[in-house]
Amino acid sequence: MALNSQRSKHLPPVKRGTIYDLYLTLSDERLLEYDIDKLVFEARSPYQKVQIVHSKSLGNMLILDELQNMSEADLIYSETLMQRGKECYEDKEIVILGGGDGGLLWELLKENPKRVTMLEIDDVVIKACSQYMRSVCGDCLDKRITSKYEIIVGDCVIALNHMINEGHQVDYVFGDLTDIPISTAPHGDAWDFIRLILNSSMKVLKPTGKYMTHGNGASCPKSLKMYEEVLSQLCVPVKFTKDEAFIPSFFEVWIFYQVSLK
């Protein structure tokens, strides 16, 4: 068949010289060229490089340390993470770890929860998204506290420790952290830190509670298996279910976990 092909293929040239990076990596390290045509916002926070760029097909995109996090075309990300239609959030108490783009908070507030507390380390992310990602976060990042939610700026590990010491337990914890969360203390490698976040989260869940999080790309089975091994070795026995969705700005199928205490 290939020998009979009438067409010849040529590789497009690599584009250079833009003030923003057109090439971002997929979860399995493949490079993808995005149709970015504008740098909307750029700053270096104490924790990471924060950029918002405009893509012709995806709208504004939040990029943290050169990794794509959320775009205006990614409602499916928040909906799959929260398992919209399958979980009931009415009158529930919820904690979000990270989530600085405000997308998850905005979507959860539509489900009439009792209270949501968002623990996000980076004020620069919150302010940039509040200004330039409004189709994602609505107006929920404009205020830091209302009768329905509170946004606490700081390391979620410290806030989780406070909750553990106070014996404060909630119905849902969402792990909406960057793929490699920011550690403000020397916690060994990234997996140790992820383990710490998972163990701390289990301690603030009611016995009926759930930990909801994003895993990795479906093209990274080894990394997903490692995550599942970590889940099987937590301080308490847990069981989990999985779901998946194609995330437009990731250009790949992403795996999401729903973890509950056994």
Ligand X SMILES: C[S@@+](CCC(N)C(=O)[O-])C[C@H]1O[C@@H](n2cnc3c(N)ncnc32)[C@H](O)[C@@H]1O
Q: Which residues bind ligand X (CB under 6 A)?
A: 64, 69-70, 77, 97-101, 119-122, 125, 155-157, 176-179, 181-182
Going by C-alpha positions, the residue among 3, 2, 38, 47 that lies closest to residue 18 is: 38
Q: Which two tokens stand for residue 140?
A: 């929920």
Q: Which is nearer to ligand X, 168 or 239 (CB)?
A: 168
Q: Which residues on neighbouring strands pair with residue 257, listed in sequence order?
A: 213, 242
CB of 93 to ligand X, least distance (A): 19
**22 Cβ neighbours under 8 A, 6+ residues apart:** 15, 33, 34, 36
> Residue 72 and residue 132: Cα distance in Å, rounded?
10
Burial class, 88, CB count within 10 angstroms (exposed 0-12 / middle 13-18 / buried 19+): exposed
Q: Which is nearer to ligand X, 200 or 238 (CB)?
A: 200
CB of 91 to ligand X, least distance (A): 26
CB of 122 to ligand X, least distance (A): 4
Q: Which two tokens stand for residue 227?
A: 């995550």
Q: Verify whether residue 176 is a known catalytic residue.
A: yes
The amino acid at residue 32 is: L
CB of 102 to ligand X, least distance (A): 9
Q: Which is nearer to ligand X, 157 or 255 (CB)?
A: 157
Q: Which is nearer to ligand X, 88 or 253 (CB)?
A: 253
The residue from 65, 176, 189, 192 that is catalytic is: 176
**Residue 147 to residues 113, 144, 151, 152, 153: CA-CA distances in angstroms?**
11, 11, 12, 14, 18
> Residue 145 and residue 152: Cα distance in Å, rounded?
9
* Residues involved in catalysis: 176
